Amino acid sequence: MVKSVQSMTGFGRLHRQDDDWEQTWEVRTVNSRYLEIKWRIPHSCRRLESEWEKLARIYLARGRMDVSLDLRLLTPETASPSLDRAQALGMLDQLRLLAESQDRRYHPDFNYLLLIPSLWRDPAKDLPPRLVQDLTAGLRLVLEDLRQARIREGEALAADISVRLDQLTEIMERIGSMTHDLAPRRMESLRTKVGALLLKIQGKNVDELRLLQELALLSDRLDVSEELTRLAEHLREARRILNSTPDPGRRLDFLFQECLREITTCGNKTQDAGVSRLVVEFKTELEKCREQAQNLE
């Protein structure tokens, strides 16, 4: 099965009725780090749970899924318990022999057979193969209904993230424009101040070479070009994952954490009010992207 981008939130429902039974399925999914399935099905269907879980895993990769089944048997042949005739006849025969040995009249009351649970077999404990097939088909249909709902919501989330990625790219480019000349301007200002300082302390024991080295290190720390380059690559990769990866949720969540690290470094290094405002704006949009990505499978 080819998977599309899916939300981890969805709902599916199916009701179908046969001449002999009626089944109603409801399936709900919410966010979860892994795939968790909780079954609320009749006790008679418990033996099918393992097979049904394999079927569910074809449709879902992540999320907590609650599955409920309401099964109603409609005909006496399927709903009524069956009598273990061999055991019942054997018990009656033993009672007859006991009465004869005591020289007593034997008039069994068949109503007492209703009080012996071991004589009766619950039809639900031995589901007819046709019923099992019909229930499995019903589960498959409700899972498909759920999948379509998750795809519709997933597409809406992906479209929202895509728009926000455009906004993040625009903010990043504005930061790049502002910081392009920031380091040279900051260094020119520092040179002026340092020059004035050197004039004041002329003749004193000052390690000018060490001072110039510190200025060079400061210039390097003011340069955020490498961070912006990595950030741009992260945003391009996020768009690629969103458009081409069937289950992008975890990958995007990790990638957005990396984006947060790079943009935070940019803000810390530049120490510029205008850049700081853009960094805050970037982080706000990035957090919205993360929230949406965490809803994706």
pLDDT tens across the length of the chain (297 residues): 445 789 999 999 999 998 888 999 999 999 988 899 999 998 888 889 999 999 999 999 889 999 999 998 877 666 456 777 888 888 888 888 888 888 888 888 888 877 787 776 665 556 788 889 999 999 999 999 999 999 999 999 999 999 999 999 999 999 998 887 666 666 666 666 666 656 565 656 555 566 566 565 555 566 788 899 999 999 999 999 998 877 898 899 999 999 999 999 998 888 788 889 999 999 999 999 999 999 998
What region does 202 belong to: left with phi over 0, alpha with psi -120 to 50, or beta? beta
Residue 206 region, left (φ>0) first, then alpha (ψ -120 to 50), else beta? beta
Strand partners, 22: 17, 72
Name the class of domain 10-77+128-151: alpha beta
pLDDT at 2 (0 to 100)? 43
Q: Which of 265, 263, 267, 236 is nearest to 252 (CA)?
A: 236
List the chain domain ranges. 10-77+128-151, 82-121, 153-293
Q: What pLDDT, on a 0 to 100 scale, did the predictor assign at position 79?
A: 47
pTM of the model: 0.70
Query: What is the C-alpha separation between 73 and 221, in angstroms, rounded?
Result: 75
Give the model's pLDDT for residue 206: 57
- Give the pLDDT confidence score for residue 91 in this predicted structure: 86
